[in-house]
Structure 1
Amino acid sequence: MGMARGAVVAAAAMLAWAGTARATEAERSSAGTLADGTRVEAVTLSNAAGVSARILSYGATLQSLRAPDRQGRLADVVLGHDDVESYQSRPNYFGVTVGRYANRIAGARFALDGRTYSLSANDTTNSLHGGAEGFDKRNWRIVSVDNGPVARVVLALASPDGDQGYPGRLEVTVTYTLNEAGELGIAFEAATDAPTIVNLTNHAIFNLAGEGAPGGTAGHRLTIPARAFTPVDERLIPTGELRPVEGTVFDFREGRPIDQDIRDGRDAQIRIGRGYDHNFALDKGRTAEPGLAARLEDPGSGRVLEVLTTEPGLQVYTGNFLDGTLVGKGGHLYRMGDGIALEPQTFPDSPNQPAFPSARVDPGTTYRHVMIYRVSTLP
């Protein structure tokens, strides 16, 4: 289905972000086994500045992202688990590749070309992140691992026709790259043999002070170039409205501390989401090259994360359902506000919302989403 050529195209897109760079490294290793004995592998990408990313074949997961603070001290800035067994036994989407459809589809159903498809319902009556057995719960195949000006790993997955209710056989690749500029690129590609819908993203949850750091993301400053967001109903399904952010607690255009209004119960949307759990309609829309979707700053450590994407939306989730019962890395109990997810995407429930950007993919075309996590420090 042209995926081999597509992977080359994706790699070329990522190389365009590298500039003139020294060699970065990719190291392949064993990461343990799943409950059924399946072997899981890991690939660690690293650069000379100390930035490194560890990717698991299980879920095509970003298990860790280590970055220096303004003093050069390294810390892992994504929430997750130390061992692969916990990703399987205590799934919480930490750093995983989500698909076939990231976010929610109302009523776990959608219509395409006059036919209604029923999906796996794993969020009360909705389908969330591809269903009960989404791409985050598959052991992906590592296609290639490369050193060079840009370190790279390519992972692949075949999703059969009818998988979780979705039509068409889908051939998927995810390409992670790291360059010396501190840019971790993630390129998703998919090709189908029948009309279908696709919406792939990464679900990393960040704490720039370091995962498990006391205080969580309190004090982190967030900027989002979006004049509107998509309000939701009690099921966290978009109502179809594009609501202006001006004059609301959703106005991040000039930057504001995440915790400034996260508990403002006067706003019905904050009450429904238990904080922020909403899609922002990025001003740039869907673009051929990655554009800025968000900038996150931690004044304490000086770490900065910029998220770039070719997609038109950004889901902001402030860890509202982390309740202190889940034990993560280093034995840390993760609680509400301990991290924030910034998920580039097509809008939630787009297949049921004609006014939203389309998620349709047809045979002979290739779905592509290129996103970048760029880490740096404040002066």
Structure 2
Amino acid sequence: MKQTWRWFGPKDLVSIDDTRQAGVEGIVSALHHVPTGDIWSPADIRQRQQEIATMRNGSPSGLEWAVVESLPVSEDIKKQTGDWRAHIEAYKQSLRNLAEAGIAVICYNFMPVLDWTRTDLAWSRPSGATCMRFDLVDFAAFDLHILARDGAAADFDQALREEATLRFKAMSEARRAELAKNVVFGLPGAVESFSLEDVRQHIAEYRAIDEDRLRQHLIDFLQEVVPVAEELGVRLCCHPDDPPVPLLGLPRIMSTEAQFSAVMQAVDRRANGITLCSGSLGARSDNDLPGMMHRLGDRVHFLHLRNVKRESDAVFGSFFEDEHLAGDTDMIALIAAVLTEEERRRADGREDWSIPFRPDHGQDILGDLQRKAQPGYPAIGRLKGLAELRGAIAGLQYARALP
């Protein structure tokens, strides 16, 4: 299991020097400044590689760009509108340029409009740490009364609508503004530039697209790009929906094992793979993460290891980002399943037997509370998570080596 770390580029408040001290073996990054649908140029890719390879004092970091997260799929591709065919051709060229630079693992997602959704970005825990949280009542209050989406009432039962209305009435104007900003934060590049009207417009463009049609659009995309990836020796891996349930009337197609299996079977090539995110998938009570790793492991090319605590047994409910070995996912069982898959791959002679993972998200603790880095990506909270995961891996490997 190759230990990696997400880095958002030179503006990231957690530096390459910090990641080097964390002892990671590779960096997960992306060209966030390149507009979605444009080609990632060889020059831009080389620059990011050089930034990763160099510490502040100019000395080598010893780190490489190991995984791309993400090479984004445009909304035009997802909807098959506008310049979607040109965007697919640009995507293929970006894959060629990344392969030429020696980068072989490419993570992406196919979530309509929202990359992820939370209602709190710094929810206080009893320990004094803060974390990200999805509060279903707050979200319903946003959908019903702030966004005021047409048809929103049909998505929530009467008891939840009534609770959301009371919650909204009790909110200060400052909290209402904060809630709207937090939800919009999950829109790619939208933190400062998207208004609620922009969100309504994006949602309206998906009214004619249901789950089956969106899945077919993903399959159409994969049928174009997977043969190119296979020829280049590149592994594509789709990230699950976050959270893994329909939101804002938008379809979701990568939320369950059955949904992932359908897409893997539709384009049945190893280059068409999975980013198994234990936090995103773990937010649903009916997802079995260790079982998914055992059954779909052959196509898992990248791992996000984090844990969430569900606040009810409902499939669609509130949850928060817990410590990496806490929460509702049996992380030890999941890691054991990963090690079993790696043993199988090594026995089969696969070059990709070592599956890269990163400690996904983390609670803000200690100096993180002052640093205020990218939400979900603190330095010390992730380091704590990595240490816990590293210890679990070492212990399981030791147990396997015993006679």
TM-score calculated relative to the size of structure 1: 0.27
Structure with the larger helix share: 2
Structure with larger RCO (C-alpha < 8 A, sep 6+): 1
TM-score calculated relative to the size of structure 2: 0.26
Structure with the larger strand share: 1
